[in-house]
Amino acid sequence: MKRVSRFDAFSWRIPMVLGAALVITGCSSKEKNVIVDPQPEGITIQHDSRYGSMAGVEADEHCAKYGKTAVFERTMKSGSGTVLAHPNSTQSVFDCVDAKAAD
């Protein structure tokens, strides 16, 4: 019977675990959102289109500073020369409206 050392039994697991960690880290990374035009009346946020809900959270936080609620207006594809150099770069525009008007 061949004796299997402890290293041989686990040697294949080390590269597999490292490879999985790299894949998970690469898939979960995203660029930070960029505030393009913050105004009391609304805000434009440049973001990765795969994470659009995070732009909504930032818009809510911005509008709350003025006692208002963020309402999604439109999304535009970011053009060349924009702050985010990403193929999925998008700009979302939000209006800040009084809470009663948002209902």
What integer pLDDT is reported at residue 101 of this predicted model? 63
pLDDT digits (tens, 9 = 90+) for 10-47: 565 666 666 665 555 444 445 688 888 899 999 999 88
Nearest 5 degrees, angle CA 21-CA 22-CA 24? Answer: 65
The C-alpha atoms of residue 55 and residue 64 are separated, in whole angstroms, by: 14
* Boundaries of every domain in the chain: 34-102
Instruction: Put residue 12 in one of left, alpha, beta given phi > 0 → left and psi -120 to 50 → alpha.
Output: alpha
Report the mean per-residue pLDDT for the chain. 75
pTM: 0.62
Nearest 5 degrees, angle CA 48-CA 49-CA 51? Answer: 75
Give the helix/strand (H/E) hosting 72.
strand 68-77
What integer pLDDT is reported at residue 28 of this predicted model? 47
Res 48 pLDDT > 90: no
pLDDT digits (tens, 9 = 90+) for 59-97: 999 999 999 999 999 988 766 545 555 677 888 999 999
Task: Kindly give the residue spans of alpha helices, DSSP state H, lying in 37-98.
Answer: 52-64
